[in-house]
Amino acid sequence: MIQKLHAHSNQLHYKTIIKTCSKGVIVFFLSLFLVQCTSVKKHNAKIDKEISVKQLHKDVDFTYRKLQKLQPQLYQYISKTALDAKFDSLKTTITKPLTSYAFFTKLSPVVASIGQGHTFTYPNMKRFTKKESKLLKKQDGPFSQFEFEIFDNKLYVVNNESDLKVIKVGDELTQINNEPVQPLIEEFKNWITSDGYNTTFKDKFIGQRLGTFYTFKNQYQDSIAFEFNHENSYWVKRKAKDSATHTIKTTKEKLTTIQKDSISKVNKHLSKLGYNKLTKKYHRDLSFTAKDSCTAIMKIKSFTVGNYHGFYKESFETLKQTGTQNLIIDLRYNFGGRLNEIEELYSYLAADSTYTFSRPSQVAGKTSMFQMDYFKGSKPLLFTVKALVSPIVYGYLFFRTNKKDDGNYYITSSKEKKAKENKFTGNVYVLINGGSFSASSILSTKLKANKRAVFVGEETGGDYNGTVAGFMPKITLPNSKVKVRLGLMYVNAVEKTEVIGHGIYPDVAISPTIDDRVKDNDPEMNYILETIKTKTTAEITE
């Protein structure tokens, strides 16, 4: 009886504990939610408040100190004297309190004058609660329903995925919310730069990121009034994204081994193609122009997503098995990505059996790599794991960074590597334009310098001689909360050119027009296909 009472007492005790814990968990998450909501409201309430001249001057000095301390090759395209003068002049123009955004418009052109395309300034943006953020991710904003391109300083629609099918490819966007477009384009150009003195990057980047820049200026909006051809105006509202997705998710139901294997195979295949669940687009694709497999087209939209090892391995095995003679690699509007991926791709294209891909990366100092965003985007479990191994990571970075005879610090080393056994030995053609940036330009440098490919299109947006990128932390300025992204590593190929501050020039220069877009004509691709056809015909007749 005593044991029964004791057991009953324990049950009541456990129930009490569970109820108390449950209440505690509810109170904890409710408190967390309220704190987050309060934090968001507090942040948003300060966005339009003016900041004192003294505090803004401090932010100017803070920005320059961080650039000097962390970014290598700071004076590659502008002298120290000239950059000193720009930062000093900026302070003299700030004579009255400004909002954070007004300060951003003054600071960003000065940061852009450095001439490093990855160095970028972000305004202080409105924040959202988790609930609001989830909703935004499920929607396409007004701008993301279209694709735009700039031709002759005018902005045109080149793709329309909105419900307003009356808007056609080739329509010129003349006003956004009753504001003329051309002055907006010029304003946005002041905020960014390309690598060095390049002139092809800005138009391509703004055309692709128009919504981002407009949101910088006007914050997030649920609907936008677009006026086309100085005549017709349409309200474009946010809409739910297409719910269709190619990825297969597991459910709570118990799956058979066959079902699990099927799901795994599909997701692995999509990863090889670089499938992006948010945009529902593929970043890699290999196709053939005819049944004879004589010519293959490899389109790579970025070097950022998915299992590239599997894609390149399978692709080049296919090219070998089919006896493909010509490979066209499309790098247009490929703004870059992983250095490891372009090294992997080059190993299948190298002219020689061995090669050295890049030089050691220059960094600003012995500990500058400690500023990388090591914990960025880490969920609790991953954050904990990273925290545990962080001493090893930072120790590795410290001892791998060494001062060389030239007085500069370098991390990593140049190692000779072997080309793949089944590397492609046929003709290679590469399509480039001003949107071929960062990793795309480094890969192009290797192919161009080693005479491994014929380039068609426009000068790349990235510099032939390398770029300051690698790890790119965002530094938040203490008073205005404006952010400045800077690169910590000067990444560059072994090969160099005497032409300073420009990208890879095409062997055949071809620039499309808006008329080409309307007619769905690809003049760069057509030139290559016609060249291959003529060359093949000549070889047959000989």
Domain boundaries along the sequence of the chain: 139-239, 266-363+415-541
**pLDDT, tens digit, for every residue of 129-175?**
888 888 888 888 999 999 999 999 999 999 999 999 999 999 999 99
Helical axes 181-189 vs 210-218, angle rounded to 10°: 90
Cα 530 to Cα 508: distance, rounded to the nearest angstrom:
13
More confident residue, 276 or 13: 276
Confidence of residue 385 (pLDDT cuts 50, 70, 90): confident
| 448-482 per-position pLDDT tens digit | 999 999 999 999 999 999 999 999 999 999 999 99
Residues above pLDDT 70, as percent of the chain: 85
Has residue 10 got a pLDDT over 80?
no
For residue 279, count other CB atoms closer than 10 A to its CB: 13
Sheet holding 454-457, edge to edge: 284-288, 295-300, 326-330, 427-432, 454-457, 508-509
Higher pLDDT, 101 or 290: 101
Predicted pLDDT at 326: 97
Neighbour count for residue 304 (Cβ, 10 Å): 16
- Give the pLDDT of residue 244: 52
217 SS3 class:
helix
Helices (H), 163-219: 181-189, 201-208, 210-218
Confidence check: pLDDT of 8 > 80:
no
- Min mean pLDDT across 207-216, 259-268, 372-381, 427-436 is at 259-268
Asked if the model's pLDDT at residue 356 lies above 80, the reply is: yes
The fraction of the chain above a pLDDT of 90, given in percent, is: 69
Rounded Cα–Cα distance for residues 358 and 368 (Å): 21
Q: Give the Cα separation of 97 and 48 in Å (integer).
A: 11
The whole model's pTM is what? 0.85
Mean pLDDT across the stretch 192-202? 94
The reported pLDDT for the residue numbered 46 is 85
CATH class of residue range 266-363+415-541: alpha beta
pLDDT digits (tens, 9 = 90+) for 45-61: 888 999 999 999 999 99
| Distance (Å, whole) CA 413 – CA 454 | 30
- pLDDT of residue 103 exceeding 80, the answer is yes
Cα distance between residue 68 and residue 322, in whole Å: 53
Q: What is the mean pLDDT of residues 348-361?
A: 94
Q: How confident is the model at residue 253 (pLDDT cuts 50, 70, 90)?
A: low
Report the pLDDT value the prediction gives residue 319, as an integer from 0 to 100.
94
Instruction: With a cut of 80, say whether residue 261 has pLDDT above it.
Output: no
Amino acid at 455: F
Structure tokens at 193: 């730069």
Residue 1, pLDDT above cutoff 80:
no
Choose the CATH number for 139-239 among 2.30.42, 3.30.9, 1.10.3470, 3.90.870: 2.30.42
The radius of gyration computed from the CA coordinates of the chain, to the nearest angstrom, equals 27
pLDDT of residue 414: 79
Exposure letters 505-535 (e unless 16+ CB within 10 A, then b): bbeeebebebebbeeeebebbebbbebbeee
Interval 484-504: pLDDT, tens: 999 999 999 999 999 999 999
Residue 306: pLDDT above 50? Answer: yes
Q: For the ranges 78-92, 185-199, 235-249, which has the lowest average pLDDT? A: 235-249
- For residues 254-258, average pLDDT: 56
**Are 451 and 462 contacting, i.e. CB atoms less than 8 angstroms apart?**
no
- 3 state DSSP class of 522: coil
